[in-house]
Structure 1
Amino acid sequence: MYNMDKYSNSTTVTEFFLTGFPGVSPEFYPAVGLLLLFIYLVLALGNIFTIAFVFYEKNLQKPVYLIFCNLAAVDFAFGTATMPKIVGKYLISDDNISFYACFIQMYLIHYLGTVTSFLLLVMAIDRFIAICNPLRYPTIVTNQSAAVICLIFWIFPGLWMVLIVYQSISLPYCNSNIIQHCFCDRTSITKLACSDITVPQTYAFVGAMVTLLGPLAFILSSYVSIIIAVFKISNAQGKYKTFSTCSPQLLIICLYYLPRCAVYVLDVTVQMKIDARIMIVIWYSLFPPLVNPMIFCFRTKEIREAFLMKLRKSKISHKRTAPSG
């Protein structure tokens, strides 16, 4: 075991510097900053719209859409925890972050990522019960039960991540303070520690495997059961309808898990180049929150139809109130 008090006393770093994206020339910083700002605005507005629209539409206030709202909330929170600092680096050359602010960001990044993983698990459970046990679905899955489960998965990772961050912040940082990344993730920070990081690395790796592979294993098994159940449906239209209700969730799950699993496997089996790792991490961190609202709205039939109906009603109302010639 290592002495955390001894480590914390030997820390001399007071702030960190973020390198950002690899290979970007300073002359392109304003363009990159504006692009990132646009991405953040789309991400924020899309997820806020999803939450507001579901709560506004009484017909959409069902367990599955309550889960969507929780996922939209965590996507918005993740983007807000990471994007402003990246935008600031490229637009106003604000590439430094204080020691404690960096660990707060690290906490939020890994906490929100864990919440997302558990919410995707809840989403898979919802579809599993709806398709494999439809008669009991209305009694098992209610708005109240979905809200309670989502709340548990918001609270539980918060307590867990405190331990992970405490182990990282208690390490001594007395050499380089340059983080080769766009934000403060645990791997990039702990590489800068000037002591043995085997124990905290082991704890963090085990935690990552539990939060990533645990839900993923159940999600895969549940969708295998769903596919088997679908093929037992004799009606072709019934098969299509069932698959269409699952396709948005499957797409979201693939966007979240596939690149993460690739990074973890490559980190263990081969030494990834820093540039490649940064790009993959940014991809799986920001792309899903950006496109999830589009998947919710355009791949989920009930949300899409409710949205189009609102648009039609708005056009009709506008025509009636418009002054004549």
Structure 2
Amino acid sequence: MSAGNHSFVTEFIIVGFPGLQPEFYGLASTVLFLVYFCTAVGNVIILVLFATDRDLHKPMYFVILHLVVSDILFSTTTLPKIIARYWFQAGAISFTGCFVQMYLVHYFGTVNSYILFIMALDRYVSICFPLRYPMIIKNSTIHILSATAWIVAKAGPLMMVIRAYPLPYCDSNKIMQCYCDHIAITMLACTDRAPYSFPAFVVAMVVLLGPLAFIIFSYCSIIVAVVQIASTQGRLKTLSTCSGQLIIIALYYLPRCFIYLSSNIGIRFSTDLRIVIIMLYSLLPPLINPLIYSFKTKYIKQSLMKRFKRSTAPQ
């Protein structure tokens, strides 16, 4: 069937985990709701701290602010619908709504990748060129780079939607995924998906591997700079400023690269296992990032402790 033929599908059904038995739907929805609740609360706390503490109005924390906003928006895009699917058996999503969700999923994922690139750039300049850091990395620099990230990130997901939306969908309408994404949708098209999946794969690799290449370079340069520090205490202190960011970067990039590469070199997983891995790398970073900010970032930790002591002090 050609790509110009008519689509008979008017809505999609988000299946979630195909192998999950109905008796576990309540448990699944509860777990997903708790993940969403904790993600929202944790990230909102960081936003409140940032809004009320001017000590946090520094370049590195502005980068974290953008990551927090992206994490909240990504979780809000993906989780409510799959929670409703298991809680209220409301898995249906309109044809257009599914493509809107697909666009937002890939858009916020792309924004995250670019923001992590900016985060690595900040640490690279801070450690490798400490004397020039105040001149190179200013609040205005971060604002410009972050705004550019949010704008440039629109291109790839928009291309995916424009190419996938007109395809004929005339058979199954069941999305074997917890949200609408490019692979899950185009697999339902009544046409050869290779001409559509390969450009999308290239875009995904550019978005992932482009920033990742610089991140690897920057942290290799950081390691070289740290080794040249004379004192052991100085080396440990310098590395500690990067440890939180390294955890965030690893959580984001490693599972994504594994899934994308394995699916394109012939490594096959069961559908449920693949969805579990995707949900882990989609939901774990937004959930864990606030904890990393709180315990691994000096001024956020100090601001949090100051407010905690103030709230517990006797009146």
| TM-score of the superposed pair, with normalisation by structure 2 | 0.97
How big is each residue's C-alpha offset from its partner over 1:201-220, in whole Å with a ceiling of 9 and x where there is no partner? 11101100100011001100
Aligned partner of 1:235 among 231, 237, 248: 231
Task: Give the Cα separation in 1 of the matches to 2:203 and 2:269.
Answer: 21
- Is 2:295–2:301's contact at 8 Å kept on the other side of the alignment? yes
Number of positions where the alignment pairs a residue of Structure 1 with one of Structure 2: 314
CA RMSD, aligned part only? 1.3
Task: Give the Cα separation in 1 of the matches to 2:97 and 2:191.
Answer: 22
1:265 positional shift: 1.6
SS in 1 for 2:154: helix
Task: Give the Cα separation in 2 of the matches to 1:32 and 1:163.
Answer: 33
SS in 2 for 1:290: helix
* 2:288 is equivalent to residue 295 of structure 1: no
- Is 1:266–1:272's contact at 8 Å kept on the other side of the alignment? no
Match for residue 97 of structure 1? 93
1:159 positional shift: 3.0
Unaligned 5+ residue runs, structure 2?
A: none
* Farther off after superposition, 23-32 or 147-156: 23-32
Unaligned 5+ residue runs, structure 1?
A: none
- Is 2:15–2:174's contact at 8 Å kept on the other side of the alignment? yes
- Is 1:18–1:95's contact at 8 Å kept on the other side of the alignment? yes
Query: What amino acid is the match of 1:84?
Result: P
- Is 1:81–1:109's contact at 8 Å kept on the other side of the alignment? yes
Query: What amino acid is the match of 1:48?
Result: V
1:9 positional shift: 4.6
- Is 2:78–2:105's contact at 8 Å kept on the other side of the alignment? yes
Match for residue 205 of structure 2? 209
* 2:307 is equivalent to residue 310 of structure 1: yes
Aligned partner of 1:28 among 8, 19, 24: 24
The within-5 A match list for 1:78-157 is 78-157=74-153
* 2:3 is equivalent to residue 10 of structure 1: no
1:179 positional shift: 1.1
1:306 positional shift: 2.0
| TM-score of the superposed pair, with normalisation by structure 1 | 0.94
Task: Give the Cα separation in 2 of the matches to 1:233 and 1:294.
Answer: 29
1:175 positional shift: 1.1
Pair member with larger Rg: 1
* Farther off after superposition, 268-277 or 127-136: 268-277
The within-5 A match list for 1:277-288 is 277-288=274-285
* 2:224 is equivalent to residue 197 of structure 1: no
Query: What amino acid is the match of 1:278?
Result: I
How big is each residue's C-alpha offset from its partner over 1:50-84, in whole Å with a ceiling of 9 and x where there is no partner? 12212211111101000001000000000000000
1:48 positional shift: 1.4
- Is 1:36–1:87's contact at 8 Å kept on the other side of the alignment? yes
Task: Give the Cα separation in 1 of the matches to 2:3 and 2:77.
Answer: 28
Query: What amino acid is the match of 1:260?
Result: R
